Amino acid sequence: MRQKKTTPKMRKKKPSTDSLNEAVRELRGALSNFAGEVRRIEIQRGDSRVAVEFAAAPFDVTAADGDLKPGEKVPSVPEQTAVGPFKKRINRGDPEFKTLISNTNATIVFKDEEGTGADRMMTTILKTGLDALAASVAKEWSGVKLRVTEAWDENGEHTPKSLHYEGRAADITTSPVDGAKLGRLARLAVDAGLEWVFFEDSAHVHVSMS
């Protein structure tokens, strides 16, 4: 009988230690500039692929002592407990609209995606707090400004009893935008006298006044 010729099975080449180490260095470099929530990252190295998958974690893992963490509120009570209840949604034609003022502070960047100047409209007390915060931001980071992405809301983009409708709340970041600075920005907001500060998510900090 003829002996059956067998072909040895080719074993899949495993990534070398050097390849894995290099991939890990790339991964660290990618994460160092990332300000969002990471769930899966894959790195291709030749014929090898390294994947890392994990549950979303707070992006600012290096927050300094005193800086707020994502989800943290100061004071740690519901917003309307801290600054007073919602009264009514203010529209441009309402008498209450005349109580709002336009913040023209040149040290603050206003997103104003509506193109109507609505993001500049706010109560006098909120303007005072944001102006103080803008000065703190300029001292904290060279070349960085406070950025307001939303203040008074006339388009109904928030929940029914949002204080944005009364010009008593603002959503803020830094300019240039840097998610890694939000924890510190939130602490500066507390120190500047904003009455309720909420590190809401990886995109912005929410502040409000009475």
Using the Cα atoms of residue 149, residue 153, residue 158 and residue 162 in order, give the sign of their dihedral.
Answer: positive
When mean pLDDT is compared across 1-10, 68-77, 172-181, the lowest value belongs to: 1-10
Alpha helices for 33-166 (secondary structure H) = 79-83, 124-140
Mean pLDDT of 74-80: 97
Confidence class for position 198, pLDDT limits 50, 70, 90: very high
pTM of the model: 0.69
Query: What is the pLDDT at residue 2?
Result: 45
Give the HSE-up count for residue 1: Cα atoms under 13 Å, Cβ half-sphere: 3
What is the structure's pLDDT at 114?
85
70, pLDDT greater than 50: yes
Tell me the DSSP string of 95-125. GGGGG-EE---TTEEE--TTSSSGGGEE-HH
> What architecture (CATH level 2) is domain 73-208?
2-Layer Sandwich (3.30)
Burial-class residue 105 by CB neighbours within 10 Å (0-12, 13-18, 19+). Answer: middle
Q: Where are the domains of the chain?
A: 17-53, 73-208
Has residue 55 got a pLDDT over 80? no
Q: What is the pLDDT of residue 51?
A: 53
End-to-end CA distance of the chain: 96
